[in-house]
Amino acid sequence: MLVQKYKEMLNKKSVIRDMAEYAAKRGQEIGYENVFDYSLGNPSVQVPQEYTDALIHMLQNEDPMTIHGYSPTLTIPKVREAVAQNLNERFGMNYTKEHIFMVSGAAGAIAHAVRLVTEPGDEVVTFAPFFPEYHPYVDLSGAVLKVVPAHPQDFQIDFEALDRMLSQKVMAVLINTPNNPSGIVYSEETLRRLADILTRKSAEYGHDIYLISDEPYREIVFDKKKVPFPAKFYDRTITCYSWSKSLSVPGDRIGYVAVNPACPDATTMIQMCGQISRGIGHNCPTAMVQLAVAQAIQYTADLSVYETNMNLLYDELTALGFTVVRPGGTFYIFPKALEEDAVAFCEKAKKYDLILVPGDSFGCPGYFRMAYCIDTEKVKRSLAALRRFVETEYR
Amino acid sequence: MLVQKYKEMLNKKSVIRDMAEYAAKRGQEIGYENVFDYSLGNPSVQVPQEYTDALIHMLQNEDPMTIHGYSPTLTIPKVREAVAQNLNERFGMNYTKEHIFMVSGAAGAIAHAVRLVTEPGDEVVTFAPFFPEYHPYVDLSGAVLKVVPAHPQDFQIDFEALDRMLSQKVMAVLINTPNNPSGIVYSEETLRRLADILTRKSAEYGHDIYLISDEPYREIVFDKKKVPFPAKFYDRTITCYSWSKSLSVPGDRIGYVAVNPACPDATTMIQMCGQISRGIGHNCPTAMVQLAVAQAIQYTADLSVYETNMNLLYDELTALGFTVVRPGGTFYIFPKALEEDAVAFCEKAKKYDLILVPGDSFGCPGYFRMAYCIDTEKVKRSLAALRRFVETEYR
C-alpha cells in the first residue's frame, strides 16, 4: 500500500541526514567551525553574478506577464532552444528545442524520465555506489530499482555483473557520471561497452532498453579532462540535468530532460513529458528561473575550489594508506574504510569531529563518502584530525 | 499501460487550448485587440510591488546560500510558520508550521493531497462543473475521478446525487470554492451538509473520507462577501492553495498544502508529503519564491478589475435573456447556452470574434465559460458583439 509506504519511510532514517544533524548539534557545542563536516552534498560556492543580475534585471524591467505568467505545457520555447544550442556547441549534438523539456532539478528530471520508459513493475538498473535517493525516485514511480554491485578497482562498470542483471524486465539503465559518491567519471570505453550491451540486450528481448543519464555534476571535472557525454554513445539516451551544482542554486529547482535526437520518437517523448508533468503536478519550473538559466547558460560558478579540496584530501588519504580511487569530478571522494564495518569506522571518526558517511546506503558497504563542498581552509585544518584519527585508532 | 496513456493524451485536444489558439490566430488576422478572447484563465493584473521588491531585495542583499540553498525536506520553516499565522488570523484556525507544506502551485498541492489519502483504484469524487485538469491530476495518480452531476439552479451541491456516488471506494471528495468555471462560492450551509454526509459515510464504511479543498480563487470574491473556509466545517480537510491568482504569479509555481490541525495524524500527514515529494520529484518549490510569498503574505494584486468585469458581463447576459448564476468570485462566469449544443453555440460565437468555451469538458454540457481576466475596456467593447451575436443567431 502506497500510503503505508510513505508512512513507513518516515521511520527510515537517512544516514546522511543523521550525520548532518549530529554535525549541527556538535557545532552548537564546540563551534561549527571546529566540526569537519563532510556529510552533505550542499554546493558552497558563490552564485555567478550573471545569474543574479539576470533575475534582478527581469524583475526590474520585464513585463510581469512575461516573467510571472504561465509557461506553455512544454516549458518556455526560447529557454529550450538555448539549452539545445548549448549542448550542440559543447558536445557536437543535433538537439532542437523539440528535444528539451525544462524541469525542477534532477529529481524532477528523473521523475519524468522513469515514467517515460517504465510501467509499474518494470525494472531500472543502476550501479553501486549510487545516490540513495534513486530508491524513492524509482520505487515510488512503481518501477523497481536493481543495483549492480560495485567494481571497486576503479568504480567503472562490472559488465559481467550487469549482463546477469539485464533481465527481460529491465526497461532502463540509470547512470550518474561524474558519480555521487565516488567522484568517478565514466570513460569512453565504459560508455561504448555499455551501449553495446544495451543494444545487444534490446535486440535479444525485442524491446528497447533506455539509458537515463543523470548529470548534475557534469561541469565539476578535474585535471582539465572532459566528461564524455553519454548520449553520444547510445541513441536511446535520456539526459537528466540540474543546474544545482554548476550554478550553486539547488534551492532554485531547475534542470532539464533532453532526449537524444537520434532516439526514435524523441520529440513524442518530450511531448509526453508535458503529460507526465500534469500527472505528478509539476507543470513547469518557475518561469523566471527558466529564463535566468537561459541567460546565464555560458556561465558556471567558480568551481575550482572543489578540485583544490579534492587534491588536498586525496593526497592526505593516500599518504595515510587509504585505498582510494582518485575522483575525476564532483565534490565527493569515496575511500575504503580502515575496518570492514564502515558504520563503526565513521562512528569512531566522530571522536575527532570528522563527520563521514558510511557507504552502506550507497550500496557499497566498507567504504565511506566525504562531501568536500566546504571551505578549503577547513579542509586543511581537517587533515590533522584525519591523521590523528587514523594513527590513534588504526596503528 | 501508463506510457501508452501518456501517449494517447497527446491526441486528446483541450477545448480550452483550441479556443485560445484560434483566438491567437484570429488576432494575427484582425489584431488581437479586436478578438474578444474569453478562453484562458490567465491572471492579467499587476503583480504587487511588495512581492517584486521582496525578490529584488533578497537577490541584492541576502546570503546566496539562504536564497539559493536547498530547502529542508518539509520546506522552509519560517515560510510554513507565516502561512499558518496568516490562516489563523483570517479564519480563526490553529495551524502551526507542522500543518503546512509548501508546494509548486495548486497542481502540486493536489498531486500531494491525492497521494496522501488514496491508493491506486480508490475513488475521488468531485462536482460538475469542474476544472478539467482534475482528470489528469487524479487519474494519473492511480485513483479514479468520479463526477457528481451539476445542480444548475445555483451550482451548489446536489446532495442526493452525492449520496448515491459516495461508495465504499471513495477516499476523498475534491471541492473547488470559489469555483472554476461557475464562479460560485459554496455557502456555509453547503459546507455543513457536506461535512455531515462525509462524517456519516465515514462511519458507515469504517474508513475516513477526506475533503480536499482546492482554493486558488479564495481571494477573488465579490460583493464584499467572505468565502467560508471549508476546513472550519470538517476536521479531515486538506486545503490546497496557490498564489497564482491572488498575486498574479502563475509562472512562479507556489502554493501550499494545509492539513486541518483537528485532523487525526495531521502532522504525520505533512511529514508524509515530504516523502511523496521525493517520489514525484518535486523536492520543494523554488526557495526564493517561498521566501517572497511569506514576505508578501498580507498582500494581493489589485483584484477589483475582476468584479468590475463580472458586473458588466452579468448585467449584459441577464439583459440578453441568458440563464446565469451570479458568480460570487473567481474570474469566470458560466451561463447556459442559447441552444442545447454548447459546442455549436461557441462555434457560432466565433463569427462575432467572441471566444467562449463550451461546458462539456467541465462536465456540464449546454453551458459555456467566459474567463474575464482581460482588460475592462475590452469587456465593454465585447458587449456589443455579444448583443449582435444573440440578436442575429437566436432571435
**pLDDT band for position A44 (cuts 50, 70, 90):** confident
Percentage of residues of chain A with pLDDT beyond 90: 93
CATH of B2-47+302-394, one of 3.40.190.10, 3.90.1170.50, 3.40.50.150, 3.90.1150.10: 3.90.1150.10
**pLDDT band for position A247 (cuts 50, 70, 90):** very high
B319 φ, ψ (degrees, to nearest 5): -60, -35
Most B-contacting residue of A278, A284, A295, A374 (CB-CB within 10 A), to test interface: A278
- Residue A393, pLDDT score: 97
**pLDDT band for position A1 (cuts 50, 70, 90):** low
In chain A, residues with a C-beta closer than 8 Å to the C-beta of B250 are 68-70
Each residue of B170-204: pLDDT tens digit?
A: 999 999 999 999 999 999 999 999 999 999 999 99
The type of residue at A127 is F
Are B394 and B320 contacting, i.e. CB atoms less than 8 angstroms apart? no
Helix (H, G, I), strand (E, B) or coil at B367: strand
- The nearest alpha carbon in chain A to B67 belongs to A251
Residue A9 has pLDDT above 80, yes or no: yes
Taking an 8 Å cut-off on Cβ atoms, the answer to whether A278 and B136 are in contact is yes
Domain boundaries, chain B: 2-47+302-394, 49-295
Q: May I ask the CATH class of domain A49-295?
A: alpha beta
Residue A17 has pLDDT above 90, yes or no: no
Measured between CB atoms, which of B47, B120, B253 is closest to A285? B253
CA-to-CA distance for B202 and A6, rounded, in angstroms? 23
Express the helix, strand and coil content of chain B in percent, nearest 5 each: 50, 15, 40
Measured between CB atoms, which of B59, B142, B285 is closest to A253? B285
Considering the entire predicted model, what is its pTM?
0.97
Helix (H, G, I), strand (E, B) or coil at A208: coil
Taking an 8 Å cut-off on Cβ atoms, the answer to whether A136 and B284 are in contact is no
DSSP A230-275: GGGT-SSEEEEEESTTTTT-GGG--EEEEE-TTSTTHHHHHHHHHH
- Residue B1, pLDDT score: 67
| Rounded average pLDDT over A269-286 | 95
Measured between CB atoms, which of B59, B108, B116 is closest to A52? B59
- Residue A151, pLDDT score: 97
Cα distances (Å, whole numbers) of residue A185 to A88, A228, A316, A327, A368: 21, 8, 21, 8, 18
Helices (H), B287-358: 287-295, 304-319, 342-349
Q: How many CB atoms lie within 10 A of CB B318?
A: 13
Taking an 8 Å cut-off on Cβ atoms, the answer to whether B251 and A136 are in contact is no
- What's the mean per-residue pLDDT of chain A? 96
Taking an 8 Å cut-off on Cβ atoms, the answer to whether B137 and A104 are in contact is no
Taking an 8 Å cut-off on Cβ atoms, the answer to whether B287 and A251 are in contact is yes
Q: Helices (H) and strands (E) in chain A — how many of each? A: 14, 12
Q: How many residues does chain A have?
A: 395
In chain B, residues with a C-beta closer than 8 Å to the C-beta of A107 are 278, 281-283
- Residue A13, pLDDT score: 77
Each residue of A346-386: pLDDT tens digit?
A: 999 999 999 999 999 999 999 999 999 999 999 999 999 99
Please enumerate in sequence order all residues whose Cβ is within 8 A of that of B178, keeping only pairs 6 or more positions apart, or say none: B184, B185, B217, B218, B220, B221, B227, B327, B328, B329, B330
Residue A320 has pLDDT above 80, yes or no: yes
Predicted-complex ipTM score = 0.96
Measured between CB atoms, which of B3, B71, B248 is closest to A251? B71
Are A94 and A231 contacting, i.e. CB atoms less than 8 angstroms apart? no
CA-to-CA distance for B366 and B344, rounded, in angstroms? 10
Are B357 and B8 contacting, i.e. CB atoms less than 8 angstroms apart? no
- The nearest alpha carbon in chain A to B245 belongs to A69
* Nearest-neighbour CA in chain A from B191: distance (Å): 27
Residue A2 has pLDDT above 80, yes or no: no
Give the DSSP H or E segment for B121.
none
Of A16-20, A31-35, A55-59, B295-299, minimum mean pLDDT range: A16-20
Measured between CB atoms, which of B248, B252, B279 is closest to A140? B279
Question: Is-same-fold flag (A2-47+302-394; A49-295)?
Answer: no
pLDDT digits (tens), chain B, 395 positions = 678 889 889 988 788 989 999 999 999 999 999 999 999 998 989 999 999 999 999 999 999 988 999 999 999 999 999 999 999 999 999 999 999 999 999 999 999 999 999 999 999 999 999 999 999 999 999 999 999 999 999 999 999 999 999 999 999 999 999 999 999 999 999 999 999 999 999 999 999 999 999 999 999 999 999 899 999 999 999 999 999 999 999 999 999 999 999 999 999 999 999 999 999 999 899 999 999 999 999 999 999 999 999 999 999 999 999 999 999 999 999 999 999 999 999 999 999 999 999 999 999 999 999 999 999 999 999 999 999 999 999 98
C-alpha cell belonging to residue B355:
471566444
DSSP A79-119: HHHHHHHHHHHHH-----GGGEEEESHHHHHHHHHHHHH--
In chain B, residues with a C-beta closer than 8 Å to the C-beta of A9 are 272, 275
